[in-house]
Amino acid sequence: NAGVTQTPKFQVLKTGQSMTLQCAQDMNHNSMYWYRQDPGMGLRLIYYSASEGTTDKGEVPNGYNVSRLNKREFSLRLESAAPSQTSVYFCASAKGTDIANYGYTFGSGTRLTVV
């Protein structure tokens, strides 16, 4: 009954370093999403994948890349981390792209600090 699993839960990076945030879901969901959460700004969509093999930019894609490795996994990569990318990152999944009918299931988040 894992749902959406994100790793790592915490990470500290130096400016310029790269890293990949991992997300996996075991609910056979088709669509997956990456959001970042910042104080006073709510959640903002970085990238999403409506189905295996497709990815699209969200509201704030600059500085990030994604890979939909298979139906279960959707990773987020920071190629050259910047302090502005300090945030809490949430992965979410949904059974279909009709969000109203299927809703989101969220992971517990990755807290990333870039120094």
Partner 1 sequence: AQSVTQLGSHVSVSEGALVLLRCNYSSSVPPYLFWYVQYPNQGLQLLLKYTSAATLVKGINGFEAEFKKSETSFHLTKPSAHMSDAAEYFCAVSDPAGGYQKVTFGIGTKLQVIP
Q: Using CB under 8 A as the criterion, which residues of the chain lie in contact with partner 1 when the complex forms?
A: 4, 31, 35, 40-45, 48, 50, 58-59, 90, 92, 97-101, 103-104, 106-109
Q: Which helix (H) or strand (E) holds 99?
A: helix 99-102
Residue 57 or 77 with smaller CB distance to partner 1: 57
Residue 56 or 79 with smaller CB distance to partner 1: 56
Would you state the structure tokens that stand for residue 16, as one six-digit string? 């310029």
Residue 27 or 50 with smaller CB distance to partner 1: 50
| Neighbour count for residue 18 (Cβ, 10 Å) | 10
* Minimum CB distance to partner 1, residue 42 (Å): 4
3-state helix, strand, coil in the chain (%, to 5): 5, 50, 45
* Minimum CB distance to partner 1, residue 15 (Å): 26
33 touches 51 (CB < 8 A): no
* Minimum CB distance to partner 1, residue 106 (Å): 3
